């Protein structure tokens, strides 16, 4: 999937969060991230892959983490640097992260995987770079929103129509394969349910957004902050 579609949206990307629905989604997803962070009480560093304009990168920094943002779209990174100049931002590819094994405690994907050509490769890179685990937030294929993105009112939108949504089962399957023996535990939930229940969070595979945390054993070697050669 071409990353260039995000270049055209960079300057207005954050405006959606000021709409009524955008505010609701933002509130629900921040609560979801807080729930996903709970299994990692000693985590102090994170890499957000596909950080965009830094909306959730900044939230992570306010929740005890030293965060680096990474994105493939230069215009998105420029917008992030303008809005949050204090947060490190790196131009890079999710399919080959420029960090060595165990360089950060957590690797975070927030609505990133569904816009990648090879999401399982990106997850494998996250497992390599993470010392403690992965936090993943992604659009749910088996939801009313997923149906709308494929065949409904959202199918004509420049970004959402390009999303390759996943299901809880497929996401857990990918994480299980790439983490191998390092996988200690997987916990998941979903949120943004229909009929006014957008704020509920429950392990029912019908919410528009899935949240999944993969708890890993530490790698055999780790070099915090080191850049891969």
Q: Which residues have CB under 8 Å from 144's CB, separation 6+? A: 194, 208
Q: Domain count of the chain?
A: 1
Q: What pLDDT is recorded for position 162?
A: 65
pTM over 0.85, yes/no: yes
Q: What pLDDT is recorded for position 6?
A: 66
Residue 59, domain member (yes or no): yes
- Backbone phi, then psi, for 169, in 5-degree steps? -65, -40
Q: Based on the number of CB atoms within 10 Å of its own CB, is 18 exposed (0-12), middle (13-18) or buried (19 or more)?
A: exposed
Q: Which residues have CB under 8 Å from 109's CB, separation 6+? A: 48, 49, 50, 122, 123, 126, 134, 135, 136, 137, 138
The Cα angle at residue 218 between residues 213 and 220, in degrees rounded to 5: 145
Q: What pLDDT is recorded for position 199?
A: 83
Residue 65, domain member (yes or no): yes
Residue 223, domain member (yes or no): no
pLDDT in tens, the chain (229 residues): 555 666 666 667 778 788 888 898 899 999 999 999 999 999 999 999 999 999 999 999 999 999 999 999 999 999 999 999 999 999 999 999 999 999 999 999 999 999 899 999 999 999 999 999 999 999 887 665 555 555 555 545 555 556 678 899 999 999 999 999 999 999 999 998 887 777 889 998 888 899 999 999 999 876 666 667 5
Q: What pLDDT is recorded for position 155?
A: 45
d(CA 25, CA 138): 13
User: Residue 135 is inside which H or E element, if any?
Assistant: strand 130-139
Domain that holds residue 82: 4-216
The Cα angle at residue 221 between residues 218 and 223, in degrees rounded to 5: 100
Is the distance from CB of 99 to CB of 229 less than 8 angstroms? Answer: no
SS3 category, 7: helix
What is the DSSP-derived secondary structure letter of residue 118? -
> Where residue 185 sits, what CATH number does that domain have?
3.40.50.150
Is the distance from CB of 89 to CB of 77 less than 8 angstroms? Answer: yes
SS3 category, 197: coil
Percent of the chain with pLDDT over 70: 83
Residue 227, domain member (yes or no): no
Is the distance from CB of 109 to CB of 130 less than 8 angstroms? Answer: no
Q: What pLDDT is recorded for position 34?
A: 97
User: Residue 137 is inside which H or E element, if any?
Assistant: strand 130-139
């Amino acid at each position: 999937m071409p990353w260039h579609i995000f270049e055209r949206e960079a300057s207005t990307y954050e405006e959606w969060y000021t709409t009524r629905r955008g505010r609701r989604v933002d509130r629900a997803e921040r609560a979801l991230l807080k729930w996903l962070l709970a299994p990692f009480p000693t985590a102090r560093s994170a890499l957000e892959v596909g950080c965009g304009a830094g909306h959730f990168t900044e939230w992570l920094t306010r929740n005890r983490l030293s965060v680096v943002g990474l994105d493939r779209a230069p215009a998105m990174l420029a917008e992030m640097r303008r809005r949050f100049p204090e947060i490190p931002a790196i131009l890079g590819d999710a399919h080959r992260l420029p960090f060595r094994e165990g360089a950060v405690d957590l690797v975070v994907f927030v609505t990133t995987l569904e816009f990648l050509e090879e999401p399982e490769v990106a997850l494998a890179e996250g497992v390599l770079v993470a010392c403690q685990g992965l936090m993943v937030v992604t659009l749910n294929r088996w939801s009313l929103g997923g149906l709308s993105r494929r065949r409904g009112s959202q199918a004509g939108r420049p970004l959402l129509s390009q999303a390759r949504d996943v299901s809880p089962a497929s996401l857990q399957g990918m994480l299980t394969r790439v983490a191998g023996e390092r996988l200690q535990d997987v916990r998941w939930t979903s949120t943004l349910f229909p009929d006014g229940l957008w704020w509920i969070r429950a392990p029912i595979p019908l919410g528009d957004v899935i949240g999944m945390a993969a708890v890993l054993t530490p790698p055999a070697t780790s070099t915090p902050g080191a850049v891969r050669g």
